[in-house]
Structure 1
Amino acid sequence: MTSCNAQSKKAEVNQKHRVVFQMNSNDPQSQKVLINNIENIKETWGANVTIEVVAYGPGIEFVMTEKSAVAEGIAIMIKNGVIFVACENTMAKKNITKEELIENVGTVPSGIVEVIIKQEQGWSYIKGGI
């Protein structure tokens, strides 16, 4: 009984996971919760997980150098392989330039479309925030 559970847990940890987070809130507490969630996932699965965070709408502030409540945390996570992207549609509507984004944050044409594509590819979806 125990060895079967141990084998199952070992297989689960060694499996490659893919998780996409949607961030569409500019609430500082939501930003902190999302960072904590990512830290917990990375702590559990380490290199066996790929994480992408898609920021759009009011959530674009999450990845902006001057507006993010967790800019330092995002910079550290990027160095640890977490992917952060901003919606170009939102950027255009709000007149935000790439220079206003935290260093190494990428962009996608449409944030919501990016989330849909990831889900269609089998990624686990989590709505960021509280």
Structure 2
Amino acid sequence: MKKLILAAVLAGAPVFAWAEGVMHKIAVHVNSGDAQVMNIALNNIENVVSYYKSKGDDVTVELVAYGPGLIMLMPGQSPVEERVKTMHLGLDHLQFSACGNTLAKMSKKAGKELSVMEEAQVVPSGVVRLVELQEDGYAYVKP
């Protein structure tokens, strides 16, 4: 195998090798305020991470919430708040992203600055973030 890789390198061919497993990248889209949809998204994440880890593969997941789905990442309002906190602590390579556009509109409507859970990062636009993730090779999942 080493001779084959060396021959390929010497011939100028690109060589891709992984010491162990494969890296899977998944973007999960939530734009529904329905608790059932949120739980399905979180179930999908747990299931895919468990599956790939059982195969020895690595996985990174980013859940992007916007529109009515942003409630998922709002403290004191999220119907899945405890689950988000638990998953954030328990799963490596899991990121929760909240749409800044939606947050600004909701804050304006509420007449006060609203915030997201500390487990989430605010991105300028949820839709743009999903596009960026897909351009970076992330598989797209919408429960």
Match of 2:66 in 1: 56
Contact persistence 1:32–1:69 (CA under 8 A): no
TM-score w.r.t. length of structure 2 = 0.75
Partner AA of 2:77 in structure 1? K
Distance 2:46 2:83 in 1: 10
Distance 2:133 2:119 in 1: 20
Match of 1:126 in 2: 141
Distance 1:51 1:64 in 2: 19
Match of 1:33 in 2: 40
Deviation at 1:97, TM superposition (A): 2.5
1:91 to 103, 108, 111: 103
Which secondary structure state, in structure 1, belongs to the residue aligned with residue 61 of structure 2? strand
TM-score w.r.t. length of structure 1 = 0.82
1:24 to 11, 14, 31: 31
Residue 112, structure 1, aligned to residue 127, structure 2: yes
Which secondary structure state, in structure 1, belongs to the residue aligned with residue 40 of structure 2? helix
Identity %: 37
Deviation at 1:44, TM superposition (A): 1.1
Structure 1 runs of 4+ aligned residues shifted over 6 Å read none
Contact persistence 1:26–1:62 (CA under 8 A): yes
Partner AA of 2:101 in structure 1? N
Distance 2:80 2:21 in 1: 30
Decide which structure has the larger Cα Rg and report it: 2
Unaligned runs of 5+ in 1: 1-10
Deviation at 1:89, TM superposition (A): 0.4
Deviation at 1:125, TM superposition (A): 0.3
Partner AA of 2:114 in structure 1? T
Distance 2:121 2:44 in 1: 21
Q: Quick check: which one's helix share is greater?
A: 1
Distance 2:118 2:49 in 1: 21
Kindly provide the CA deviation profile for residues 58-113 of structure 1, in whole angstroms up to 9, marking residues without a partner as x.
00001112221211111111112310010000000000523xx2222101000000
Contact persistence 2:106–2:114 (CA under 8 A): no
